Amino acid sequence: MAQPYLGLGRILVIIPTYNEIQNVDMITSRVRASVPEAHLLIADDNSPDGTGKRADELAASDDHIHVVHRQGKEGLGKAYLDAFRWGLGEGYDVLVEHDADGSHQPEELPKLLNALVNADMVKGSRWVPGGSVVNWPKSREFISRGGSLWTRMWLGIPVKDPTGGLNLFKAQVLRDIIDDISTYGYGFQVDLTWNALQHGYRVVEVPIEFVEREHGVSKMSSDIIVEAALQTARWGIKHRTEQLKQLASGFGDQAGKAGEKAGRFVGAVSKAASDTVTNRKTKGSGH
């Protein structure tokens, strides 16, 4: 049976890389096998280990593989933004964020793409029922769960895994939000999710199994965590202040409406009373 996602149009799976020479062949072949219709864009930050050169070789032998070479390491957010702009410029209908190291499993892409048929953005989620992490150090799980809690507390969004990096977008969502994205480390994922929700788009979480990388090293750093935490708190303060303002003006409106109602009631009572009085008077005067 044909997969429902085939109706979504042209798909681009974006893979940011920095020193992923041990993973680049593995990830490209798995994506190609699992979603053969999709194109792949490797966004490499001039990796010293030669990942970009290897990506060029892969692209030379497969017309579904493309490469964007960036000047140097600027964080995955900037690499993704360049890749999104490239993909939108080339007219892709669906753009997918996907890590290179095997933590995101390409075999889960058909399920996620099918969920996008009835959504605007789909997030692969570790923290919804059915989602899981494999071989992740407890410290990383603590940071991820803590980050989710922090984000939900500030922004009040119903998303369980806002920092998750396996995200799928209909092109229109990115066209609308791309100029508002201002975070480039891991807060980038929250930034995208928050902006999509703020624009009224339907964001759906789908459970995934997240597997810790076997080769190469993580580029996660304490700077990245701090940037994400502070930026989320800044959005949160703005958001909560606006909520308070609305609440206050709501109270004002409610009070105004209550006052109006009370005024109408008092008016009606006094009219009824004066009618009664008038009637009485009339009646009285009749006697």
Ligand X SMILES: Nc1nc2c(ncn2[C@@H]2O[C@H](COP(=O)(O)OP(=O)(O)O)[C@@H](O)[C@H]2O)c(=O)[nH]1
CB of 73 to ligand X, least distance (A): 4
CB of 81 to ligand X, least distance (A): 11
What are the φ and ψ backbone dihedral angles of 219, each rounded to 5 degrees? -100, 10
Please report, as residue ranges, which positions from 194 to 213 form the binding site for Mg ion (by CB under 5 A): 213
CB of 141 to ligand X, least distance (A): 12
Quickly tell me which residue has 């680049």 as its tokens.
24
CB of 46 to ligand X, least distance (A): 9
Q: Is 143 or 203 the residue whose CB approaches ligand X more closely?
A: 143
Q: 87 contacts which partner out of Mg ion, ligand X, none, CB within 5 to 8 A by kind?
A: none
Measured N-to-C along each axis, helices 51-60 and 24-34 cross at an angle, to the nearest 10 degrees, of 40
Q: 31 contacts which partner out of Mg ion, ligand X, none, CB within 5 to 8 A by kind?
A: none
Quickly tell me which residue has 């429902």 as its tokens.
4
Please report, as residue ranges, which positions from 81 to 110 form the binding site for Mg ion (by CB under 5 A): 101, 103
Contacts of 18 (CB under 8 A, 6+ apart): 44, 45, 47, 51, 73, 76, 219
Q: Can you say how many angstroms the Cα of residue 57 is from the centroid of all Cα atoms in its chain?
A: 32
> Is position 45 an interface residue for Mg ion (rule: CB under 5 A)?
no
What residue ranges bind ligand X (CB under 6 A)?
16-18, 20, 43-45, 73-76, 79, 99-101, 103, 213, 218-220
Q: 145 contacts which partner out of ligand X, Mg ion, none, CB within 5 to 8 A by kind?
A: none
Distance spanning both ends of the chain, measured CA to CA: 92
Tell me the residue nearest to ligand X as measured from the CB: 218
Please report, as residue ranges, which positions from 103 to 162 form the binding site for Mg ion (by CB under 5 A): 103
Q: Where are the beta strands (DSSP E) in the chain?
A: 11-17, 39-44, 65-69, 94-97, 121-125, 132-134, 167-170, 203-207, 209-211
Please give the Cα distance from 236 to 150 (Å, whole number).
Answer: 10
CB of 186 to Mg ion, least distance (A): 11
Q: Is 75 or 87 the residue whose CB approaches ligand X more closely?
A: 75
Q: Is 75 or 124 the residue whose CB approaches ligand X more closely?
A: 75
Radius of gyration, alpha carbons of the chain: 27
Instruction: Give yes or no for a contact between 171 and 94, defined as CB atoms under 8 angstroms apart.
Output: yes
CB of 212 to Mg ion, least distance (A): 7
Please give the Cα distance from 12 to 26 (Å, whole number).
Answer: 18
Q: Is 117 or 178 the residue whose CB approaches ligand X more closely?
A: 178
Q: 82 contacts which partner out of ligand X, Mg ion, none, CB within 5 to 8 A by kind?
A: none
Q: Which residues bind Mg ion (CB under 5 A)?
A: 101, 103, 213
